[in-house]
Amino acid sequence: MLDLFLAELKRSWILLSRYATETMGGIIATTFVFYGLFLSSRYIAGPGIALGDRLDSVIVGYILWTLMLFIMGDVAGGLQDEARTGTLEQMFLTPYGAARVFVIRAIGSLSIQLTLNIVIVVAIMLITGSQLAFPPILVPPFITALLGAYGLAFTVGSLTLVFKQVRQVQSILQFGLLLLLAAPTETWTGSLRLVGWLMPIAPAAGLLRDVMARGLELDGVRMAIASLNGLFYFTGGVLLFGWAERLTKRQGRLGGY
């Protein structure tokens, strides 16, 4: 399995380096779009108002959003590209099983993307003068956020297998993701809190905001909820992918586009 991961990592890195201009352009564009957002919000709020930890929360949310968009595009967009170029069926001719290969591939390309994201984070912090905390305790909520994102990505990937063209769904989901990440579910009370717990990624995003932007300790109960949430969506997404694979194989439409 390690061999497969390293092979996927190498493949992702090579493809990324062959698209070096697009990669660099993406990093620069992401950073500047955020800087634009930052300037706009400061203009509306007025120069006298300090955005403080609210700005840090926005940065955390924005970074998470770009990462989630990458995951979504990587899995669902990757499937569409493979179907278009014809290599998709070869992915299903592996003794490892297609779902496992796609999960490992996603982890491989995420490792590279994370490195790029660190570059974006540093750039954003330099531009805005914001200081984010990066304690090791942010790793668990970060992983649960990724699990949720992968769950959603594999759900969209399943739709891609079945319906082939899901660009519209992806576009809508981009804004849905922004809502999930930006919604301050950690401050919700009563029945709304329960809704927040059930929303994909939202509990993990709230924890990340607490740890990174507000410098709070990790809450054990909320961490457990975020973990269950992440595992639930990840398992659901992968199971749905397996179902979509069987359905398209039954319909004889696996390689079509």
Binding footprint of another protein on the chain (CB under 8 A): 3-4, 6-7, 10-11, 14-15, 18, 85-87, 89-97, 101, 246, 249-252, 254-255
Query: Is 250 buried (19+), middle (13-18) or exposed (0-12) by CB count in 10 A?
Result: exposed
C-beta neighbour count of 130 within 10 angstroms: 19
- Cβ 251 to another protein shortest distance, Å: 8
How open is the CA angle 159-161-167, to the nearest 5 degrees? Answer: 55
Question: Which residue number, 4 or 51, has a Cβ lying nearer to another protein?
Answer: 4
In sequence order, the 6+-apart residues with CB closer than 8 A to the CB of 82 are: 88, 91
Nearer to another protein, 236 or 255 (CB): 255
> Nearest approach, Cβ of 27 to another protein (angstroms)?
20
- CA gap 109, 72 in Å, rounded: 12
Minimum separation from the CB atom of position 74 to another protein (A)? 16
Selection from 150, 162, 85 nearest residue 113 by Cα:
150
Residue 33 Cβ, how far from another protein at the closest point, in Å?
A: 27
Closest to another protein by CB, 101 vs 218, is 101
Tell me whether residue 23 is exposed, middle or buried, using C-beta atoms within 10 angstroms of its C-beta: 0 to 12, 13 to 18, 19 or more.
Answer: middle
Least Cβ distance, residue 21 to another protein (angstroms): 14
Measured between alpha carbons, how far is 45 from 96 in angstroms, rounded to an integer?
54
| DSSP secondary structure code for residue 75 in this structure | I
| Torsional sign, CA 136, 140, 144, 146 | positive
Q: Which is nearer to another protein, 32 or 96 (CB)?
A: 96
Closer residue to another protein, CB minimum distance, 43 or 250: 250
Long-range contacts of 182-188 (CB under 8 A, 24+ apart): 182/58, 182/61, 182/65, 184/57, 184/209, 186/210, 186/222
Q: Toward another protein, which CB reaches closer, 186 or 245?
A: 245
| Min dist. Cβ of residue 164 to another protein (A) | 16
CA distances from 104 to 73, 149, 205, 235 (A): 16, 15, 23, 15
Residue 106 beta carbon to another protein: minimum distance, rounded to whole angstroms: 15
Closest to another protein by CB, 68 or 99: 99
